[in-house]
């Protein structure tokens, strides 16, 4: 169920009869640069107009409580010693952030908090990062610390690693916190240096097609891919001692040692080094406002993810082929970890409705599943709602 900024604010006022500080924290898309983050490569995410909203104020009775609109549940927080809990699971995303404030010596006064949002779950739009970043920002502002956003990003990522148990890269939290309207972030995952590239869509609309499937392979295969990339690095290091990750490797180097990169290791390494280069080139396409060239790279990325990295699935491949079969889609690819979730599509404005209707019908006919489509706009990152 979706909750708007007004829903969250209204619930807070109903519960506590006072005006809160309201913070919004967006989900994110990744236009290009998939499975490059843990290889020290580049990614190109953007914050979107789906968000988690926090309403927060000091508590009048020294008790700290968080209310989840989605679960209609209140959780009482131990401010002195926040620890992970078995239930409710949603509380851990917030408790890990709070733990970071405590461990780093930043005072947190007792508070009341209500949160909810409209980011579709399981679609790969990083609802978890949005929750962590929004809460970190809300606590920071409520307590007047005014920490740099980079510090809050790392606190949010720490929460995901240590209290939620997902060893995510930095991209999701970075994109949620640092997004800018009509701009994509070109982020170097090694140095965390970044710049913005303009996303002048004009004749095009970004549409996500949600397969509504999540194959159980995603976690085990993710770990396997990481291990395969590390194996490739270990082999290449014997020839090129300066290599620390696939970021330091060229396509020529991979091809020169194909015989040693046995099993699937060659394919995995080839995809990653091609994708790292593709993000750099795609950034130049955006600078030149060349969405046709950018779209072609989206298709190339999908082909690499499907054939070389093997993290796609029948449903994702089907949706990309539907896009490729028409001249109204400049580019499409699977987005996220793989084995389900969404495709991201760059569709001509006038064709959005007809493309979505035709694709929904074809998808249902093939898989018996009702595909969902979300039109997204690129917005600014986490901040106080105005």
Q: Which positions are catalytic? A: 172
Distance from C-alpha of 96 to C-alpha of 295, rounded to nearest angstrom: 38
Distance CA 93, CA 81 (A): 15
Return all residues near 59 (Cβ < 8 A) that are at least 6 apart. Answer: 65, 109, 110, 111, 112
Determine whether 274 is exposed, middle or buried from the number of CB atoms within 10 Å of its CB (0-12, 13-18, 19+).
middle
CB 120 within 8 A of CB 50: yes
What is the 8-class DSSP label of residue 163? I
Residue 37, SS3? helix
Element (H, E) at 57: strand 42-58
**Of residues 36, 39, 42, the one with CA closest to residue 236:** 39
Q: Distance between CA 47 and CA 95 in Å, rounded? A: 24
Which candidate, 98, 164, 99, 96, places its Cα nearest to that of 126? 164
Q: Are strands 42-58 and 183-188 parallel, antiparallel or unpaired?
A: antiparallel
Nearest to 168 by CA among 37, 13, 28, 260: 37
């Amino acid at each position: 169920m979706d909750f708007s900024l007004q829903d969250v604010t209204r619930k807070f006022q109903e519960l506590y009869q006072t005006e809160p500080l309201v913070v919004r924290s967006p989900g994110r898309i990744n236009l290009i640069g998939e499975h490059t983050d843990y290889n020290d490569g580049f990614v190109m995410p953007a914050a979107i107009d789906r968000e988690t909203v926090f309403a927060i104020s000091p508590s009048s009775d020294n008790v700290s409580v968080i209310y989840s609109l989605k679960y209609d549940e209140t959780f009482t927080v131990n401010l002195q010693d926040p620890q992970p809990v078995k239930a409710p699971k949603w509380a851990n995303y917030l408790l890990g952030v709070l733990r970071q404030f405590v461990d780093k010596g930043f005072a947190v006064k007792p508070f009341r908090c209500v949160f909810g949002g409209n980011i579709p779950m399981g679609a790969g739009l990083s609802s978890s990062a949005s929750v962590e970043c929004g809460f970190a920002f809300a606590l920071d502002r409520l307590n007047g610390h005014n920490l740099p956003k980079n510090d809050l990003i790392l606190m949010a990522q720490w929460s995901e690693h240590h209290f939620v148990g997902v060893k995510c890269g930095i991209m999701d939290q970075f994109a949620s916190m640092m997004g800018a309207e009509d701009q994509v972030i070109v982020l170097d995952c090694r140095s965390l240096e970044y710049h913005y590239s303009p996303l002048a869509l004009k004749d095009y609309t970004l549409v996500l097609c949600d397969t509504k499937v999540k194959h159980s392979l995603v976690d085990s295969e993710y770990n396997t891919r990481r291990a395969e990339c590390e194996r490739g690095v270990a082999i290449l290091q014997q020839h090129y001692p300066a290599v620390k990750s696939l970021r330091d490797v060229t396509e020529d180097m991979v091809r020169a040692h194909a015989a040693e990169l046995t099993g699937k290791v060659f394919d995995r390494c080839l995809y990653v080094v091609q994708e790292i280069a593709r993000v750099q080139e795609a950034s130049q396409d955006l600078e030149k406002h060349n969405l046709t060239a950018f779209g072609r790279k989206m298709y190339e990325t999908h082909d690499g993810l499907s054939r070389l990295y093997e993290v796609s699935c029948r449903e994702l491949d089907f949706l990309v082929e539907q896009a490729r079969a028409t001249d109204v889609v400049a580019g499409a690819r699977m987005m996220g970890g793989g084995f389900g979730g969404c495709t991201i599509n760059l569709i001509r404005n006038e064709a959005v409705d007809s493309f979505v209707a035709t694709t929904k019908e074809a998808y249902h006919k093939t898989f018996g599943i009702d595909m969902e489509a979300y039109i997204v706009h690129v917005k600014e990152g986490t901040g106080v709602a105005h």
